[in-house]
């Protein structure tokens, strides 16, 4: 069976003998603990939202010491796509893949793209006109020019061609694009995506401590024309100290079309909101939720916010918080649509690291929601 036929055959939604799925169950990738403890290989799992228990859908073989699971994406047919983002980002080592019969509990891995210009996949988004998965690449530890894949590439699901459509600039004046961490489609504008970078705001400084930036990527239908335009610098000199971010981690678009941005630095456990006007321009930044204060109110330990996803079935935000830094165990917390302290609480704490999440509709919900409804369940995220 060729790759395209395999992709079409992967339901990712239902299969004979499949694990039961409920509206609002949470699909996740787990990574990293075997790098530090040697005890737990990377795996893809599903959290039953009713019982709040997790099931293992696919596990990376313990002998595989190069795979490091990253983001989760979805194709236009509803199939799930996953990333393998080795650390450090060594050219040719990463991959984008699907898992055949994902929800059967006996799924098998099938690579869509290995190496090439999409071999450091961090996050994904789908581009309908070209039937492509957009891959946000961030080869941590080996940035350009050592690894030239930093930027955005596209894996065409018709041909499986893997093409870089935007390359991270090599140097230049700040503020600028540097080290992309998340991508999400703009639900209000066709062929438009928000892209978040870890650093290179105008305040500068050491690379990993430089402020984060938000960009708008605009493409045409065949991806032959791509622009990446800065729309917000999170430097303190631009947005004020209270709204500054030096370690942005993920983005989501709310019901008003504004962009929520999460941060995970010890002094920046917060979510800020970027106001987007009718023309698609950023016109202000404000604090949406002081997660550090919320954690203190519940006497929770450290939890840097790594991911944010909208749960349309329960009308709430889902947050992934690490509890001690990269590769540490994670918890999933909930936050109401208004971001208030009273709506914050712990949903799931499984004792393992969670890299990415997506809310899973049941097969019946797929038919009801349609692709437009599916897009609304995606954070951005992609």
Mean pLDDT of 143-160: 83
**Highest mean pLDDT: which range of 83-92, 118-127, 225-234:** 225-234
Higher local confidence (pLDDT), 63 or 192: 192
Lowest mean pLDDT among 33-47, 83-97, 295-309: 33-47
pTM of the predicted protein model: 0.89
Higher local confidence (pLDDT), 253 or 265: 253
Q: What is the C-alpha separation between 292 and 273, in angstroms, rounded?
A: 16
Higher local confidence (pLDDT), 267 or 100: 100
Under the banding of pLDDT at 50, 70 and 90, the label for residue 338 is very high
Work out whether strand 53-59 and strand 69-74 pair parallel, antiparallel, or are unpaired.
unpaired
Mean pLDDT of 320-328: 75
| Domains of the chain as residue ranges with CATH | 3-377 (2.120.10.30)
Cα–Cα nearest to 260, from 305, 227, 296 = 305
Per residue in 114-138, pLDDT tens?
A: 887 777 899 999 999 999 999 999 8
Name the DSSP class of 303. -
Under the banding of pLDDT at 50, 70 and 90, the label for residue 173 is confident
Three-state DSSP at 100 gives: strand
* pLDDT recorded at residue 63: 78
Residue 192 has pLDDT above 50, yes or no: yes
- The three-point CA angle 339-233-182 to 5° equals 65
């Amino acid at each position: 069976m060729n790759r395209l036929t395999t992709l079409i055959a992967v339901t990712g939604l239902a299969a004979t003998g499949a694990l039961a799925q409920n509206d609002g169950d949470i699909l996740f990738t787990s990574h990293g603990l075997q790098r530090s403890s040697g005890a737990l290989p990377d795996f893809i799992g599903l959290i039953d939202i009713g019982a709040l228990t997790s099931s293992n859908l696919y596990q990376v073989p313990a002998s595989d010491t190069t795979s490091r699971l990253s983001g989760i994406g979805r194709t236009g047919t509803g199939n799930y796509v996953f990333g393998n983002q080795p650390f450090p980002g060594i050219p040719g080592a990463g991959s984008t893949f699907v898992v055949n019969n994902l929800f059967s509990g006996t799924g098998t891995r099938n690579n869509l793209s290995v190496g090439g210009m999409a071999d450091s996949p961090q996050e994904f988004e789908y581009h309908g006109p070209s039937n492509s998965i957009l891959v946000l690449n961030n080869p941590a530890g080996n940035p350009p020019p050592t690894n030239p894949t930093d930027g955005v590439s596209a894996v065409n699901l018709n041909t499986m061609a893997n093409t870089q459509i935007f390359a991270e600039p090599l140097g230049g004046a700040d503020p600028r694009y540097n080290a992309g961490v998340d991508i999400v489609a703009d639900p209000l504008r066709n062929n438009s995506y928000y892209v978040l970078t870890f650093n290179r705001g105008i305040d500068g400084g050491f690379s990993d401590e430089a402020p984060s930036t938000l960009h708008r990527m605009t493409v045409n239908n065949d991806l032959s024309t791509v622009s990446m335009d800065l729309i917000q610098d999170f430097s303190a000199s631009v947005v004020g100290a209270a709204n500054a971010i030096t370690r942005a981690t993920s983005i989501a678009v709310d019901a008003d079309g504004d962009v929520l941005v999460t941060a995970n630095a010890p002094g920046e456990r917060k979510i800020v909101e970027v106001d987007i006007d009718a023309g698609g321009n950023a016109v202000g930044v404000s604090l949406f939720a002081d997660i550090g204060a919320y954690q203190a109110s519940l006497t929770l330990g450290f939890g840097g916010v790594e991911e944010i996803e909208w749960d349309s079935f329960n009308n709430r935000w889902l947050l992934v918080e690490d509890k001690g830094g990269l590769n540490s165990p994670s918890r999933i917390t909930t936050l109401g649509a208004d971001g208030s302290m009273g709506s914050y609480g712990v949903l799931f704490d499984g004792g393992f690291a969670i890299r990415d999440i997506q809310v899973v509709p049941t097969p019946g919900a797929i038919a009801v929601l349609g692709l437009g409804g599916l897009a609304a369940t995606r954070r951005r995220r992609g």
